[in-house]
């Protein structure tokens, strides 16, 4: 058994190690600077305090992007030196973000041990590779992202750090092979690294939530066809195991399901712009596909917590998706058979979920952007299903959004709606389900405009301008009417502020809102996940409850509100951009 010693290494603070919406994300060349990653990891250990680290088990894994292997070895050595007893690593560094959450909550080690937290190595939907992004975040013992109190403390520590602890002589661990390697030394006397199968715990959890036998019958039905695009992210590992091995889908229904360190040079972000191959296959491309598109298609982001749901030639907005899942969950998904505890959405997500919550008399919560705010609600038993407009959907089975779970939820709804039709009749389609939902609850037209990597100064000025404007609504309404007289009046404008109903913590400046008399909304935010410049997000929403008006093209229906948003914000003036980078 190799013996190791603890070294104290002197270091100096780096600027800008403040975790954003979901961890610290920077270019690989920034992370690869001497002591950069080490400073952040030690600052995290110090923020958690020895009590949560010494003798404990930590999970370290991620989406397998470029620099993950180097980072894992660094974190293993630092964990040993800081008195961690055990590090659990998914084979080949791979664990999806929801799988990490599942491993923390569910996995039991050989000696009965459970993990008390995790470092997740991912920059999620941001591109990977030597010139692209790497990222790291810490998740707590409930399986959810560290709350703001902890991330603030981590950041504070990064500004004063003077030294970190590491075990320089600990040999690198082979993380390509399943098995346990033991060492002796360090504050705990012994230390071990266990490499385990990336899918086992997660697959077992999914099988306890969904009726796999029923879904299998849908996938076997000749009239049904299926397509899944992992965009070269970690979702591919789970897709093979679940959709092909467990549910019997054809291997050819999987696109880009072998994880790559650079995601094949693409942007692993499941939306209509970046999931090009899937969009084309589903008949939503600019040119026609050969043959008939599949009935159902879905995609994931790099770390597999996001999902995009498509029907044949049909796009389901994420805001509609969570509402439809909530409306059908009790009947379609065994895990929810006893009823929903409540539902929640992020503030910029459309109010489609609110309408369902009201109709079904469910507890409802509106939280700031970012999954960390849902965790407290779930731990307190207030919320079962939640979602974000940014292609994030999930439930209280873990404390992260879950891309594969969302696909299984949709397959369960399709299975329910088609339970008497598997003998060759025409099937109820994804589009039928969505249109039926609109007919029952009304439709929330919704779009998001992203202006990526704009000048940070200009973006700040734009936001300041929008806040200033809020003090004079008659001036705002003059501008609105000047752009388009058919648009309703703005009745309220503010910056969203959230008080956590469980612990009372307050989060301010969570997005600038303009609320219209007819229920329409404009929301403006700066992204907290980018690594360069600033990204301005504009969220545009309009509710229509008149059944003769629910079938319009969404971009066309929203055009007047979009024009108002661009004029109010002076978008072109402040950012120099005449068009957004991405429209979803
Ligand atoms: C974006 C999304 C937000 C999501 C976050 C993390 O944040 O808007 O809804 O929770 O990404 O998702 P921002 O601050 O850039 O708007 V992931 O899949 O990148 O962990
Ligand atoms: Co993600």
Show me where the domains of the chain are located.
2-198, 202-441, 443-583
- pLDDT of 372 reads 84
Look up the CATH architecture of domain 202-441.
3-Layer(aba) Sandwich (3.40)
- Tally Cβ neighbours within 10 Å of residue 484: 14
Look up the CATH architecture of domain 443-583.
2-Layer Sandwich (3.30)
- pLDDT of 360 reads 96
Residues 6+ apart with CB under 8 A from 274: 231, 266, 267, 268, 582
Kindly report the protein residue whose alpha carbon is nearest to atom 16 of ligand 1: 527
Domains 202-441 and 443-583 share a fold: no
SS3 333: coil
Q: Could you give the CA distance from residue 343 to residue 357 in angstroms, rounded to a whole number?
A: 7
Spell out which residues have Cβ within 5 A of ligand 2, the ion. 124, 301, 303, 305-306
Look up the CATH architecture of domain 2-198.
3-Layer(aba) Sandwich (3.40)
Task: State the 10-residue block means of pLDDT for the chain, 584 residues long.
Answer: 86 93 92 97 94 94 97 97 96 97 95 95 95 96 92 96 95 95 83 96 98 96 95 97 96 96 95 93 81 94 97 96 98 97 97 96 95 92 96 97 98 96 90 96 95 92 94 91 89 94 91 93 89 89 86 88 94 92 90
CB distance 165 to 7 below 8 Å: yes
- pLDDT of 547 reads 81
Q: Which residues line ligand 1 (CB under 6 A)?
A: 21-22, 124-125, 301, 305-306, 346, 369-371, 388, 390, 392, 527-529, 537
| Residues catalogued as catalytic | 124
Mutate to test the pocket of ligand 1, among 269, 390, 391, 400 (most ligand atoms within 8 A of CB): 390
Kindly report the protein residue whose alpha carbon is nearest to atom 11 of ligand 1: 529
Q: How many A from CA of 393 to the centre of ligand 2?
A: 11
Q: How many A from CA of 140 to the centre of ligand 1?
A: 19
Q: How many A from CA of 194 to the centre of ligand 1?
A: 31
Mutate to test the pocket of ligand 1, among 18, 21, 406 (most ligand atoms within 8 A of CB): 21
Residues 6+ apart with CB under 8 A from 439: 547, 550
CA 231 to chain centre: 15
CA distances from 375 to 383, 461, 502 (A): 9, 33, 10
Q: How many A from CA of 391 to the centre of ligand 1?
A: 9
Q: Could you give the CA distance from residue 491 to residue 484 in angstroms, rounded to a whole number?
A: 16
Q: Could you give the CA distance from residue 448 to residue 539 in angstroms, rounded to a whole number?
A: 5
Q: Could you give the CA distance from residue 114 to residue 106 in angstroms, rounded to a whole number?
A: 8
Q: How many A from CA of 23 to the centre of ligand 1?
A: 10
Q: Which atom number of ligand 1 is nearest to the Cα of residue 389? A: 9
362 token code pair? 């469910």
Ligand of minimum distance to the alpha carbon of 96: 2
Q: Which atom number of ligand 1 is nearest to the Cα of residue 23? A: 20
Residues 6+ apart with CB under 8 A from 278: 227, 229, 255, 297, 298, 299, 308, 310
Its pTM stands at 0.94
- pLDDT of 519 reads 87
Q: Which atom number of ligand 1 is nearest to the Cα of residue 126? A: 19
**160: number of CA atoms within 13 Å, CB side?**
6
Locate the DSSP E strands across 455-533: 490-495, 498-499, 506-507, 512-516, 521-526
- pLDDT of 1 reads 67
- What DSSP designation does 242 have? I
Q: Could you give the CA distance from residue 253 to residue 294 in angstroms, rounded to a whole number?
A: 9
């Amino acid at each position: 058994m190799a013996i190791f010693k603890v070294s104290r290494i002197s270091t100096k603070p780096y600027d800008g190690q403040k975790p954003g919406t979901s961890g610290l994300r920077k270019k690989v060349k920034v992370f690869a600077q001497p002591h950069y990653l080490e400073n952040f990891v030690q600052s995290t250990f110090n923020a958690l305090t020895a009590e949560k680290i010494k003798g404990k088990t930590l999970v370290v894994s991620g989406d397998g992007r470029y620099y993950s292997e180097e980072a894992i070895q660094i974190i293993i050595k630092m964990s040993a030196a800081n008195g961690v007893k055990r590090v659990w690593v998914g084979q080949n560094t791979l664990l999806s973000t929801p799988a990490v959450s599942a491993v923390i909550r569910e996995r039991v080690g050989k000696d009965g041990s459970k993990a008390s937290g995790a470092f997740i190595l991912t920059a999620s939907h941001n591109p990977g590779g030597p010139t692209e992004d790497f990222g790291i975040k810490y998740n707590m013992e409930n399986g959810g992202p560290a709350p703001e109190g902890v991330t603030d403390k981590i950041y504070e520590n990064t500004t004063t750090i003077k030294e970190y602890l590491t075990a320089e002589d600990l040999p690198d661990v082979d993380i390509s092979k399943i098995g346990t390697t033991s060492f002796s030394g360090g504050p705990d006397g012994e230390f071990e690294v266990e490499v385990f199968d990336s899918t086992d715990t997660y697959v077992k959890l999914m099988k306890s939530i969904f009726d796999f036998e029923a879904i299998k019958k849908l996938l076997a039905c000749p009239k049904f066809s299926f397509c899944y695009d992992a965009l070269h992210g970690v979702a591919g590992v789970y897709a093979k195991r679940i959709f092909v091995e467990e549910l019997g889908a054809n291997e050819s229904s999987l696109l880009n399901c072998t994880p790559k360190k650079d995601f094949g040079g693409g942007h692993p972000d499941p939306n209509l712009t970046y999931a090009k191959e899937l969009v084309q296959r589903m008949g939503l491309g600019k040119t026609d596909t050969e043959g008939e598109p599949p009935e159902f298609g879905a995609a994931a982001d790099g770390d597999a917590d996001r999902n995009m749901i498509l029907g044949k030639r049909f796009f389901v907005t994420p805001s509609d998706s969570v509402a439809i899942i909530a409306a059908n969950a009790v009947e379609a998904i065994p895990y929810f058979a006893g009823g929903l505890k409540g539902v929640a959405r992020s503030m910029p997500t459309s109010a489609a979920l609110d309408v369902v919550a009201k109709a079904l008399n469910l507890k409802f919560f509106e939280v700031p952007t970012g999954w960390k705010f849902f965790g407290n609600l779930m731990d307190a038993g207030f919320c079962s299903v939640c979602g974000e407009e940014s292609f994030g959907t999930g439930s209280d089975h873990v404390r992260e959004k879950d891309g594969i779970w969302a696909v299984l939820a949709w397959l369960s709804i399709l299975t329910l709606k088609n339970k008497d039709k598997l003998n060759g009749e025409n099937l109820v389609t994804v589009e039928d389900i969505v249109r039926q939902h609109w007919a029952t609850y009304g439709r929330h037209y919704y779009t998001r405009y992203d202006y990526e990597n704009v000048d940070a100064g200009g973006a700040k000025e734009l936001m300041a301008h929008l806040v200033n404007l809020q003090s004079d609504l008659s001036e705002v309404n003059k501008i609105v009417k000047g752009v388009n007289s058919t648009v309703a009046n703005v009745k309220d404008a503010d910056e969203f502020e959230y008080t956590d109903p469980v612990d009372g913590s307050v989060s301010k400046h969570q997005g600038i809102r303009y609320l219209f008399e007819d229920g329409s909304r404009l929301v403006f935010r700066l992204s907290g996940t980018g690594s360069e410049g600033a990204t301005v997000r504009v969220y545009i929403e309009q509710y229509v409850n008149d059944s003769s008006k629910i079938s319009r093209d969404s971009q066309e229906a929203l055009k007047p509100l979009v024009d108002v948003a661009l004029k109010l914000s002076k978008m072109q003036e402040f950012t120099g951009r005449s068009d957004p980078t991405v429209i979803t």
